[in-house]
Amino acid sequence: MWQFILQHLWELAFTGISGALTAAYRRLTKRIKAQDDERKAIKEGLLAILHDRLYQACQHFMAQGSIDASGLKNVEYLYKSYHALGGNGTGTELYRRVMALPIKQED
């Protein structure tokens, strides 16, 4: 038996190392997938918050019928972040409507 083990030691070592590497690879891929899922959820949540803020700000200024310079800058900042994260056409349409509003002087 010892003779068999010594004769095939490299094969046994290679098999053991291969098994350990395979197990480590599986654990690593599961961890990466979990992190990707978490990043996706965070991105979607942030996109939802930006959409809500953009919607609320645009509704406010459209109801007012005008926008001031600081409001314009705020809406623009919200929209750029929203759009960069892949926001849809609803936010873009609201943004265009607000950009077309007359700009009033701040008091």
Mean pLDDT of 29-50: 94
Domain boundaries, the chain: 2-104
Query: pLDDT tens digits, residue range 3-23?
Result: 777 777 888 788 889 999 999
Task: Say what percent of the chain tops pLDDT 90.
Answer: 75
pTM: 0.72
Distance between CA atoms of residues 106 and 18, nearest Å: 70
Query: Cα 101 vs. chain centroid, distance in angstroms?
Result: 31
